[in-house]
Amino acid sequence: MLTLDNIKIGIVGLGYVGLPLAVEFGKRYPTTGFDLNMERIAELKAGIDHTLEVSSEELIQAKQLTYTVDPNDLSECNFYLVTVPTPLDNHKHPDLTPLEKASITIGKRLTADNIVVYESTVYPGATEEVCVPLLAQYSQLKFNQDFFVGYSPERINPGDKSHRLTNIVKITSGSTPAAANLIDQVYRSIISAGTHQASSIRVAEAAKVIENTQRDVNIALVNELALLFNRLGIDTSEVLTAAGTKWNFLPFRPGLVGGHCISVDPYYLTQKAQDVGYHPEMILAGRRINDNMGFYVATEIVKLMIQKCIQVAHAEILVMGLTFKENCPDLRNTRVIDIIQELKGYGAKIDVYDPWADSKEAKQEYNLDLIRNVPKKNQYDAVVMAVAHRQFCEMSIAEIKAMTKPKSVIYDVKAILPTEIVDGRL
């Protein structure tokens, strides 16, 4: 019988979600972290985390954590966590391939009384409809008799040093009351903020997917307001500041919505909704607005350049920032790429500078060659402040203006610059 005293944890996927879990569990239980990326395993063994989610000191503290690229090393585990990506395909449909492969990998090694907990974001029902059949097929064990499953949605916020794994309340769930209780105990042993045990796996899955859908819809609202206020000649930032003096006004800001959660999760929910014959109008409307913001920004920049009689074709434009959010190296699903590609479509020459982004990853994912340093001479016809990195916020007005030609455009996507020096912003 599986208890806290004999638990051996196996974690499949050591990215932004899996590694913090592996480190915390590795401080308390025998833990094996598995990832297919050999470079990732090598850097972790060397005490380095390029995602910056875990420090070298924290890696050292996880005394019972080992890393592997060999799935057979998971065979001794009895409590599995699945933290693989759940992306979208080219048609914005959920791509469960990584989840299915992880389930097969575990299923081949599953033994009696084992528990498998999924943390990857999915639509309600996916764990039991997609993953459980694969576990049963490849293990030849019976669900809820020989093995059990659970769902505990990840709540990692990349780059956030205040809201960490251990101080965020963790939702837990299990396929039977006994499994749910044990799963909850396991998480409670590392989560100082405590846990919330949901009544079912489907409730836990739904709770996760609506967290980011709610944020997406709210951001879409302020993005649409920004489009309206631009036509009315009103500064959106001033409007939001004024409205924010009311105690219950929600402080959302306009901007690009990218990353692995907010811009992805709503499509998982809408896919399931359509499967059961419901067309989710508000959620999809929000997605359409947010998906088009990069193209809108690029169009506004081109308009401003034309108004100043700056030839757009062959113009030199500097884009400041590529990651999907500030002070974070995460390039996944960044919508800054929409601005870059649209401006390139007008024939402009684009330089991209981001002190947080990995040059190799930018080249591999987006075929972009990042520049290493910001030029100090008057080089650019336009500068786009796309991401509010700390380094950019600390730049002086003189430093920013030094990069531009006497006749140029400065566009501020994140509203971090003084109004008087910018030509346009959301």
What residues are labeled active site?
A: 261
Q: Please tell me the distance from the alpha carbon of residue 408 to that of residue 101, in angstroms, as a whole number.
A: 51
| Alpha helices in 233-280, H assignment, sequence order | 236-243, 265-275
- Cα separations in angstroms, 158 against 53, 113, 177, 328, 329: 7, 34, 33, 7, 9
- Kindly give the interhelix angle for 97-107 and 132-139, rounded to the nearest 10 degrees: 30
Q: Quote the DSSP letter at residue 95.
A: -
Structure tokens at 106: 């575990």
Q: Please tell me the distance from the alpha carbon of residue 288 to that of residue 310, in angstroms, as a whole number.
A: 31
Q: Please tell me the distance from the alpha carbon of residue 221 to that of residue 286, in angstroms, as a whole number.
A: 7
Q: Please tell me the distance from the alpha carbon of residue 266 to that of residue 64, in angstroms, as a whole number.
A: 37
User: Are 147 and 112 within 8 A, CB to CB?
Assistant: yes
Q: Please tell me the distance from the alpha carbon of residue 303 to that of residue 220, in angstroms, as a whole number.
A: 23
Backbone φ and ψ for 344, nearest 5 degrees, come out as -65, -35
SS (H, E, C) 166-215: HHCCEEECECCHHHHHHHHHHHHCCCCCCEEECCCHHHHHHHHHHHHHHH
Q: Which helix (H) or strand (E) holds 336?
A: helix 336-345
